[in-house]
Amino acid sequence: MAELADFLNDGSEQASARILDGDPATEIRGFASLAGAKDDELVFVRDAAHLAALVDCVACAVITSPGLDVGARAVLRSARPAHDFSRLVEAFVPSRRPPAGIEAGAHVDPAATVDPSASIGAGARVGPGCRVGSGAIVASNATLVADVEVGRDAWIHSGVVLREDTRIGDRVILQPGVVVGGDGFGYVPDAEGRPVAMAQRGRVVIEDDVEIGANTTVDRATLDETRIRRGAKIDNQVQIAHNCDIGEEALIVAQTGLSGGTIVGRRAVVMAGVGTTGHLRIGEGAFIAARSGLHHDVPDGARMFGAPATEERSWHRTVAALRRLPELLKRVRRLERRVEAEASLPSSERGDASTPAPSAGDAGRDDASGGDSGRD
């Protein structure tokens, strides 16, 4: 455990955030989840909500937040336990990297340039004019069509397709099945009203430290650039349409679809299943909840929910009101039947006009008076 503590306290980050409690000589042979840990492994507990799962866990050591009681175990305390746990796994259980060189069965065009320290897997194709940087990996059956640049230490996994003129920065990771630089979905009617594809002659630029999940597609711009900026993280099965601009360190979660020309600000978070109309802007640091539908610009720092998407407080009020709607409808129907019944009576038999029956509006006010759950 002392070695792990020293690694985390190497001075590159906040050393004061990592404190070792318990026996520093505790020997760690692996890393595991709470459910599957052995008695010689290290686990992490993010917060108190996960303590119950630790009761039956036999792991001898834990990395967790300051102040949490995890029993008689060796403990590394960190302000960011999940992050530090990941750092340890990355350092001590490295991923398998193929050796440098061009594997038998790969096709590298004579007009391509591949750094000697790069790796090109069997079945991969590196087309004319392509440039593959130092330490980069182009895995089996990946395709670089033509004039593609891949930066140093990038990892292009199996089945990735990089179309013409695509630019990939340093340390970019593209998971299997990613397609970058396909034609955008742009059609205009001809003289007879038939849809005709607009020419797509732009390119895609992916900056350093971007990661893109499996089967995500990033379309080339019509004329200029579709750009994914430094450090952005994009999940599986996301559609980034032509001319989009994804900000630095933005997060975009699975099955989101961004229409053409959408701009996503720096460190914005777009959760799963979001859809946007084209040419709108999601502000810096904004949060878009899962399955929201955006039809207008989103200010910096805003939190949007629902379809059509509305500001968070308004959305919570709407949801609270919807939960009360069935009972409100019952009240309205009862009032309608009462009004109809009284209208059919002779005037001498009707209720005292000085004491009117409750109206539908009264019912709404009665309902709203108990609606504190919808307030902020």
Q: Which residues are catalytic?
A: 242
Decide the pairing of beta strands 167-168 and 173-174.
Answer: unpaired
* CA–CA dist 223, 214 (Å, integer): 26
Q: Is 374 helix (H, G, I), strand (E, B) or coil?
A: helix
Strand partners, 287: 269, 303
Give me the amino acid identity at 320.
Answer: A
Give me the amino acid identity at 64.
Answer: T
Query: Following DSSP, what letter does each residue of 220-277 receive, concatenated?
Result: PPSSSEEEE-TT-EE-TT-EE-TT-EEPTT-EE-TT-EEPTT-EE-TT-EE-TT-EE-
* CA–CA dist 374, 358 (Å, integer): 24
Tokens of 11: 């001075």
- By CB atoms closer than 10 A (0-12, 13-18, 19+), residue 161 is buried
CA-based nearest residue to 269, from 282, 245, 288: 288
* CA–CA dist 204, 193 (Å, integer): 31
Return the exposure string of 195-232: e unless at least 16 CB atoms fall within 10 Å of the residue's CB, then b.
eeeeebebbbbbbbbbbbbbebbbbbbbeebbbbbebb
Count of CA atoms in the C-beta half-sphere (13 A) of 203 = 13
